[in-house]
Amino acid sequence: MMRSALLMGALALALAGCDDDRVQAQHGPSPTLPEPQRGLLPSMKIPRPASWGDSLPTVPAGYRIAPIATDLRIPRQTLVLPNGDILVAEGAGGSAPTVRPKDIIAGFIKSLGKTSVPGGNRLTLLRDADGDGTYEMKGVFADRLNAPYGLALVDGGLYVANQDAVVRFDYRDGQTQASGPPVTLTELPAAINHHWTKAMTASADGRFLYVGIGSNSNITERGMDAEIDRAMVWQIDIRTGAHRTYATGLRNPTALAIQPGTGQLFAVANERDEIGPDLVPDYLTSVREGAFYGWPYSYWGQNVDHRAQPQNPQKVAAAIAPDYALGSHVAALGLAFSGPAMGGRFADGVFVGQHGSWNRNTPVGYKVVFVPFRDGKPAGEPVDFVAGFLNGEGNTRGRPVGVTVDPRGALIVADDLSNTIWRITANQSLPAGAGEGRAPEVR
């Protein structure tokens, strides 16, 4: 009885919030890092789901947005196939038991901002046969998967990163259904799965797959044994399935992409919680072979996190800072390099899907931003490219996850709250009125 009363009191405190959550600008290579704030509980506040009604997300002048698929089952990441079809990975994973009373509270609060629809554990294929911007075909390409997330197509092989393994389907151009069950290429760390999503991309030469594997805790509260083979990126030989550690210290690398022209691997990562509303910034970074990015011992280079015990001064000294801060708690889950077809202002840079915060009084994220590049590196302030997910009542109509650039001139955005795939194009790329319609309802 007393334990329940304590939990209810802590829940009320968390919902009320106790931090000054005025949003600080934390963009670029040198973000402002305040002193850590620690207490019994951090602020925990998540916008509740709301209907789109007749509204649509907002996009920059000269662009239009339309829903091309609705009533999905938790769409996460997408892949544009050579013939223009779109594959959508749908699902939800994770099975981590709670270890602290605050985990119970955080889990409850997070659940308030999620869809009630169960995960599909499948790949759905979308097709626009006549190229008018309306995807008239929607069908299941493969099902009975295990929380699929990352997708890659290499030399007739369709690779899917389930939460426990990378699997391969044979694929031929125009195929609408898998011709058979998948074959396992490589098993992935899946015990506990506090962070279950397995981001994936293929190297430019098609020799390797890169897979992001998130940590099994916020800051090692399950012990270091639970973190073996976690918080890192693997490089997997696509012929043999053999893997090796490519980079470490990335708490939760949620999306990976290869930079066109250079072949450089990039990632977005979600950083640690519970030391204040403005610590620690989620980030975009090039991923260097053999590099260590700090987790759990330090953040943003060599800022020591004393919660990680025992400390490791040698690892802290070796930690490198990421390239570009996106802001604390924005929950970056999508990453895609742009190209000329997206238009001059948005031709050189990356799009980043931001799922949105749950642990600060003033919400952040809940949008897709464009980070401009110059000389192959992120430079300048991020630009809101798809916004309007938060409404005037403090609720949210959608939560962006994966982003994919169609080289013919469209950005594809997966929204796992309204269970929608959005397509954004320049006005001149579609006939007048094509693809427009009523926005979907949140279910």
pLDDT at 96 over 80: yes
DSSP string, 165-188: EEEEEE--TT--S-SS--EEEEE-
Distance CA 426, CA 413 (A): 15
User: Which tens digits make up the pLDDT trace of 288-301?
Assistant: 999 999 999 999 99
Average pLDDT estimate for 56-80:
98
Strand 303-304 with 298-299, pairing:
antiparallel
Neighbours of 32 (CB within 10 A): 11
Structural domains of the chain in order of their starting residue, each with its CATH number: 45-429 (2.120.10.30)
Spacing of C-alpha 341 from chain mean position: 24
Nearest Cα to Cα of residue 268 among 401, 158, 381: 401
Which pTM value belongs to this model?
0.93
Nearest Cα to Cα of residue 404 among 423, 379, 420: 423
Distance CA 357, CA 188 (A): 27
Integer angstrom CA distances of residue 146 from 92, 165, 308: 8, 9, 32
pLDDT class for 19, splitting at 50, 70, 90? very low
Nearest Cα to Cα of residue 142 among 113, 169, 102, 115: 169
Q: DSSP 3-state assignment of 76?
A: strand
Average pLDDT, the chain: 91
Most confidently modeled of 11-25, 33-47, 128-142? 128-142
Integer angstrom CA distances of residue 261 from 10, 348, 375: 51, 12, 12
Average pLDDT estimate for 58-77:
98
Distance CA 34, CA 389 (A): 28
- The residue assigned the tokens 């996190």 is 305
Residue 294 has, within 13 A of its CA and on its CB side, a CA count of 22
Decide if 171 contacts 158 (C-beta within 8 A).
yes
Percent of the chain surpassing pLDDT 70: 91
Distance CA 8, CA 3 (A): 9
Pairwise pLDDT comparison (55 vs 438), residue with the higher score: 55
Distance CA 386, CA 367 (A): 6
Neighbours of 37 (CB within 10 A): 16
Neighbours of 348 (CB within 10 A): 18
| DSSP label of 398 | -
Distance CA 369, CA 361 (A): 21
- As a residue count, the chain comes to 443
Facing residues of 387 across strands? Answer: 58
- Please compute Rg for the chain using Cα positions: 21
pLDDT class for 7, splitting at 50, 70, 90? very low
DSSP string, 419-443: TEEEEEEEGGGS-TTTT--PPPPP-
| DSSP label of 46 | -
pLDDT at 431 over 80: no
pLDDT at 68 over 80: yes
Integer angstrom CA distances of residue 115 from 54, 72, 98, 112, 301: 19, 11, 21, 8, 36
User: Which tens digits make up the pLDDT trace of 187-232?
Assistant: 999 999 999 999 999 999 999 999 999 999 999 999 999 999 999 9
pLDDT at 39 over 90: no
Nearest Cα to Cα of residue 51 among 397, 383, 381: 397
Average pLDDT estimate for 23-47:
86
For residue 17, the model assigns a pLDDT of: 46
